[in-house]
Amino acid sequence: MMMMMMRRISERAATGFSKNLILRSSASRFHGESLDSSVSPVLIPGVHVFHCQDAVGIVAKLSDCIAAKGGNILGYDVFVPENNNVFYSRSEFIFDPVKWPRQQMSEDFQAIAQRYGAMNSVVRVPSIDPNNHERASNTHVMRFLERHGIPYHYVATTKDNKREDEILELVKDTDFLVLARYMQILSGKFLKGYGNDVINIHHGLLPSFKGGYPAKQAFDAGVKLIGATSHFVTEELDAGPIIEQMVENVSHRDNLRSFVQKSEDLEKKCLTKAIKSYCELRVLPYGTNKTVVF
């Protein structure tokens, strides 16, 4: 059983996410290099996400904010749901930190957020804000944690004693949690006490195959499609807002071992992509049970 305590790159993103359902969207790509490309030694990349009630002039105001400080927009995504008066955007840009200091940037975007009564306005500058650690290949997770000075705690839990108070004390200063093979249900008391986002992963064999060893049940039943779902944790088991889903075909050529391996690999890929999207400020709440994932 494992609960991973994750330190986010910068400000906390929004809570209350759910399954992605895009009704109407638009995406614009401006000329320039992507955030993953090398840029001028002077210009560094930033990301900003915004969520508010829809209104005239929001795009212009956000664009002017960046341009007025000498920044250049590289990519801009907008989503306005049909028959729903809300606005979502995610912008990628480069800027000169001398001309636009990090603190001033936060204040400038915050002023726009206040003007439009934004539910969410988060800005991130990866080269300035605290970074996630990169894991080298072929290293054991413990050596990786030790190398980067990341604390590791083992708390033995049972069905009758989940030791949630102890766990809550350990994770109180983290930005979000990731559950990986944590075979316990977090209580509503724990979730409310923690207050930040918790991300989970489960295989696509639920709810068709429950109980012990669902992979063998699915294999014996001749399943031809397996999947994985990464979602936010709520009090309702495996019913939280969905961040990412993946599927893969299996066939009569698979034995039980390869069947299980494919399922586990898919879970890892799905969880990795969900965490990456979350850390890159690509996930925003949409309604009560849905998410916008840019």
Amino acid at 260: V
Which of 54, 165, 220, 238 is flagged as catalytic?
238
What does the DSSP 8-state code read for residue 235?
A: S
Structure-token match 């003007």, residue found = 115
What is the structure's pLDDT at 83? 83
pLDDT score of 15: 32
The pLDDT of residue 149 is 85
pLDDT score of 135: 46
Question: Which pLDDT score, from 0 to 100, does residue 258 have?
Answer: 92
Q: Which of 5-19, 31-45, 89-103, 228-242 has the highest mean pLDDT?
A: 89-103
Q: pLDDT band at 147, cuts 50/70/90?
A: confident
| pLDDT of 124 over the 90 cut | yes
Structure-block tokens of residue 82:
């049909």
Greatest mean pLDDT range, 123-132, 138-147, 220-229: 220-229
Question: pLDDT band at 276, cuts 50/70/90?
Answer: very high
Q: What is the mean pLDDT of residues 255-270?
A: 92
| β-pairing verdict for 290-293 and 19-20 | parallel
**Is 238 among the catalytic positions?**
yes
The answer to whether 250 and 218 have CB atoms below 8 angstroms apart is no
pLDDT digits (tens, 9 = 90+) for 191-232: 999 999 999 998 877 667 776 778 888 999 999 999 999 999
**pLDDT tens for residues 164-187?**
999 999 888 888 999 987 878 888
What pLDDT is recorded for position 37? 42
Determine the average pLDDT of the residues in 51-71.
95
pLDDT(235) > 70: yes
- The string of pLDDT tens digits covering residues 7-42 is 333 333 333 333 222 223 334 443 334 444 444 458
pLDDT, residue 206, reads 61
Helix (H) or strand (E) holding 164, with range, is: helix 164-171
**Close Cβ partners of 15 (under 8 Å, ≥ 6 residues apart):** 196, 197, 232, 285
Instruction: Please tell me which residue, 155 or 242, carries the higher pLDDT value.
Output: 242
Cα–Cα distance list, 255 to 202, 218, 220, 266 (Å): 21, 12, 10, 17
Q: How far apart are CA 280 and CA 283, in angstroms?
A: 8
Q: Which helix (H) or strand (E) segment is 107 a member of?
A: helix 102-116
User: What's the maximum distance between 2 C-alpha atoms anywhere in the chain?
Assistant: 64
Rounded CA-CA distance 98/111 in Å is 20
- Assigned token pair, 189: 């008391």
Indicate the DSSP class of residue 114.
Answer: H
How open is the CA angle 228-234-239, to the nearest 5 degrees?
Answer: 45
When pLDDT is averaged across residues 229-237 and rounded to a whole number, the result is 87
Q: What are phi and psi for residue 248, nearest 5 degrees?
A: -155, 145
- Whether pTM > 0.85 for this model: the answer is no
Decide if pLDDT at 254 tops 60: yes
CA 145, CA 5: separation in Å to the nearest integer?
A: 11
The confidence score (pLDDT) of residue 143 equals 77
Residue 139 binned pLDDT confidence (cut-offs 50, 70, 90):
low
C-alpha neighbours within 13 Å on the C-beta side of residue 142: 2
Work out the average pLDDT over 120-129: 91
